[in-house]
Amino acid sequence: MLPFRSEIRNSPTQPTIKIFLSDESLDARVKTHLAHFKEIDAIEICESIGQNRACESITIFLKDDADINKMKTSIDSSLWWYFEEDLVD
């Protein structure tokens, strides 16, 4: 099972990136890890509603001038690095 999956969500007010972790106990640690991106405006841990398998998700709100596709790629890369390091420790 993959440690996470991410999705771009295009809302009318602000595009967001949703992160679904396979281990929800890591939500707060991953939120702290992602806080270093200067393009991120806010990060929230939210209950998931709908057909997603996870009960919670991390919602990332980007600043207006951020490129959402580049940010998704950067966040995914950072999370892969994070989980690889965590598995080694």
| Higher per-residue pLDDT: 41 or 48 | 41
Position 54 confidence tier, pLDDT thresholds 50, 70, 90: low
- The pLDDT confidence band at residue 6, using thresholds 50, 70 and 90, is very high
Query: Which residues sit opposite 36 in a β-bridge?
Result: none
* Structural domains present in the chain: 4-88 (3.30.1360.10)
DSSP, res 86:
H
Residues 6 or more apart whose CB falls under 8 angstroms from that of 52 comprise 20
Residue corresponding to tokens 């595009």: 15
Residues 6+ apart with CB under 8 A from 21: 3, 4, 27, 30, 54, 56, 58
Structure tokens belonging to residue 8? 């771009």
